[in-house]
């Protein structure tokens, strides 16, 4: 997972074990991905963010974002496969704004689900997280497309719940695009609130990898660089959770 000639860079599995997160710039992330598959439909993958549906659970609270959602599964030694569309659920322990409810979002477009790019990203996650957690026999996987929109009147909130955990085992946050926005800095904290690191996903394929039970993460609000032009931050979030004790 890293260049063996550069011993100063810890491997991604080592970073996920301690300190519990890693930031990977797009120039490094791209060859990691393409070693496992193609990104031939990348332009269509990026364009699909222009067709996301509003998040109805946040719109009523004045926090506007668009999203789509999909569910997958994978055995430790087999391929990642798409599951029937189902709701996203988090307990109040992990989401104080929208916990303990089943949230139904529009499904990810089938062409994206079965396309090269998402398949390659999921293979990368499966290999990496499986390496870190070799005892896991089966994974429950969720994929979220997010567009956070900002305007001169209202900042966009990538994580309106604040610094949090997702209630899973591992998380990939991959930048797809950002247009006319400032900030959006990812912050990583200990459970006690001590800052462990911060970085900003600024280029396509810049990635944050997180060991969710170990650290908390959040993203600062985004604002337009030019007030009267469209402004958005597009990310793909992939979560892996052990399903050995039952999917959920």
DSSP per-residue letters across 191-243: TT--EEEEEE--STT-EEEEETTT-EEEE--EEESSTTS--EEEEEEEEEEE-
3-state helix, strand, coil in the chain (%, to 5): 20, 35, 45
Pairwise pLDDT comparison (29 vs 167), residue with the higher score: 29
Q: Does pLDDT of 150 surpass 70? A: yes
Average pLDDT over residues 21-33: 97
Half-sphere exposure of 35 (CA within 13 A, CB side): 12
Using one digit for the tens of pLDDT, what is the confidence trace for 97-137? 554 476 778 899 999 999 999 999 999 999 999 999 999 99
- This prediction has a pTM of 0.89
> CA–CA distance from 17 to each of 50, 99, 127 (Å)?
36, 28, 15
Lowest mean pLDDT across 156-165, 175-184, 218-227: 156-165
Using one digit for the tens of pLDDT, what is the confidence trace for 57-72? 664 454 578 989 999 9
DSSP symbol at 60: T
Burial class for 50, CB neighbours closer than 10 Å (0-12, 13-18, 19+):
exposed
Domains of the chain: residue spans and CATH:
19-232 (2.60.120.620)
Average pLDDT score over the chain: 87
Residues 37, 3: Cα–Cα separation, whole Å: 19
Burial class for 12, CB neighbours closer than 10 Å (0-12, 13-18, 19+):
buried
Crossing angle between the packed helical segments 26-34 and 116-132, to the nearest 10 degrees: 90
Residue 154 pLDDT grade (very low, low, confident, very high; cuts 50, 70, 90)? confident
Residues 181, 120: Cα–Cα separation, whole Å: 28
């Amino acid at each position: 997972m890293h260049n063996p000639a550069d011993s100063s860079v810890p491997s991604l599995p080592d970073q996920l074990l301690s300190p519990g997160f890693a930031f990977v710039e797009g120039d490094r992330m791209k060859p990691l991905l393409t070693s496992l598959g193609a990104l031939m439909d990348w332009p269509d993958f990026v364009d699909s963010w222009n067709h996301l549906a509003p998040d109805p659970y946040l719109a009523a609270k004045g926090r506007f974002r668009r999203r789509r959602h999909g569910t997958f599964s994978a055995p430790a030694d087999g391929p990642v496969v798409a599951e029937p569309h189902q709701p996203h659920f988090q307990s109040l322990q992990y989401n104080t704004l929208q916990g303990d409810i089943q949230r139904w979002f529009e499904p990810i477009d089938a062409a994206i689900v079965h396309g090269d790019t998402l398949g390659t990203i999921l293979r990368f996650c499966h290999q990496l997280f499986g390496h870190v957690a070799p005892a896991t026999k089966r994974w429950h996987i969720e994929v979220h497309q997010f567009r956070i929109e900002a305007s001169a009147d209202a900042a966009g909130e990538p994580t309106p719940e604040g610094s949090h955990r997702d209630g899973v085992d591992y998380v990939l946050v991959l930048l797809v695009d950002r247009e006319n926005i400032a900030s959006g800095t990812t912050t990583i904290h200990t459970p006690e609130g001590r800052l462990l690191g911060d970085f900003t996903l600024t280029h396509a394929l810049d990635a944050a990898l997180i060991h969710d039970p170990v650290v908390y993460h959040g993203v600062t609000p985004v604002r337009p660089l030019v007030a009267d032009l469209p402004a958005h931050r597009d990310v793909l979030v992939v979560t892996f959770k052990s399903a050995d004790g039952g999917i959920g």
